[in-house]
Amino acid sequence: MQSALQARSKLPDVGTTIFTVIGQLAAEHNALNLSQGAPNFAPDEALVDGVTKAMRAGHNQYAPMAGIGALRAALAAKVETLYGVHYDPSTEVTVIASASEGLYSTISALVHPGDEVIYFEPSFDSYAPIVRLQGATPIPIKLSLTDFRVNWDEVSAAITPKTRMIIVNTPHNPTATIFSDADIERLKALTRNTDIVILSDEVYEHVVFDGAKHHSMACHRELAERSVIVSSFGKSYHVTGWRVGYCLAPAELMDEIRKVHQFMVFSADTPMQYAFVEALSNPQSYLGLSAFYQHKRDLLARELSESRFELLPSEGSFFMLARFRGFSEESDSDFVLRLIRDAKVATIPLSAFYTDGTDSGLIRLSFSKDDETLIEGARRLRSI
């Protein structure tokens, strides 16, 4: 249908995301998909049964706006055990309809027109568009092109009186790096005595490798007091299609976030919330995740050890970067298209995670796949 109206776009430069484009191409070419972070294996049967049980028990209507009380209490208890800080379930924990919704509600609630928001590139794709939709300015700071660490001196130089928020993401998508003690200390020092809010995207909080520690903002009281933490059940329980996550913040900030959440979605899916209460009663359901994914990381790395790719270290998340610049001068997008067409395997060019399309000859591989897919994907990548 042709509209008689002209939509005045708020995001004129935003088109279909690279994930959709690559997904469609992968399907057309019957390519194996190592591009998306969505697992291709089934979640725990007991979790699925938990949802069915909740539906049959009649939990099919609106949940309370902030989430069912039992889930908020279970989350507060988990966070207190893991990170040693108490969030009040009634005022400081909110169940959200996905981490994506949590990011949107938080930025929309706390960032005003004219504000500046610092974030790091390469980055998850929603941060900058959400900031722009508020009439605010996203300020991207590039991670080092060699090891993808934050240059805190650059952050310091980028902070102005208009800086309202810094968005951090550890473990990091797409580079698979994690924050160190030194990163935390610099972040503390830079935000001390400012009114800067930290939005901490911790959707991969339970996927940290080689015995390393996840630095949740919750672990550091000084940071927790100015942080909104966003996490996702979808990532931790292999159910990215169930749009449920959670958000932690001091009551003053959470109060504002809930105002947006309430008018955007009102509440997250009810039966899933009941199932997650049960799942959280077994800490192994999240504590076992690092070992589960470390096995997959190591399997993919081993299978690619004889390939021409240089693999970058993966410290956490479901991802690994692979450098092809050593054997090809193609742009990363052209290289990814060739991989889909010729090797029948789909990956993501790292340039897709930059607003200016920085291309350093790297692709992102996802290992949230069953072992057979990883072995076959690596075999196809070795053929290039």
Contact residues toward ligand PLP (CB under 6 A) are 37, 98-100, 124, 169, 173, 201, 203, 232, 234, 240, 245
Record the tokens describing residue 160, joined without a space. Answer: 């102005």
Shortest distance in whole angstroms from residue 201 CB to ligand PLP: 5
Q: Report the 3 state secondary structure along 153-189.
A: HHHHHHCCCCEEEEEEECCCCCCCCCCCHHHHHHHHH
**Which residue, 169 or 267, is less far from ligand PLP as judged by CB?**
169
Record the tokens describing residue 110, joined without a space. Answer: 């706390």
How many CB atoms sit inside 10 A of residue 101's CB? Answer: 21
**Which residue, 318 or 324, is less far from ligand PLP as judged by CB?**
318
Shortest distance in whole angstroms from residue 244 CB to ligand PLP: 8
**Which residue, 174 or 271, is less far from ligand PLP as judged by CB?**
174
* CA distances in angstroms from 25 to 3, 301, 332, 338, 352, listed in the order given: 29, 25, 16, 11, 16
**Which residue, 246 or 335, is less far from ligand PLP as judged by CB?**
246
Shortest distance in whole angstroms from residue 245 CB to ligand PLP: 5
Is residue 192 exposed (0-12), middle (13-18) or buried (19+ Cβ within 10 Å)? exposed
**Which residue, 39 or 245, is less far from ligand PLP as judged by CB?**
245
Bridge pairing between strands 227-232 and 245-248 = antiparallel
Shortest distance in whole angstroms from residue 171 CB to ligand PLP: 8
What does R_g of the chain's alpha carbons equal in angstroms?
21
Which residue's entry shows tokens 């931790």? 236
**Which residue, 37 or 303, is less far from ligand PLP as judged by CB?**
37
Q: Are 242 and 50 in contact (CB under 8 A)?
A: no
* ∠ CA 215-165-228, rounded to 5°: 45
Shortest distance in whole angstroms from residue 8 CB to ligand PLP: 27
Shortest distance in whole angstroms from residue 121 CB to ligand PLP: 13
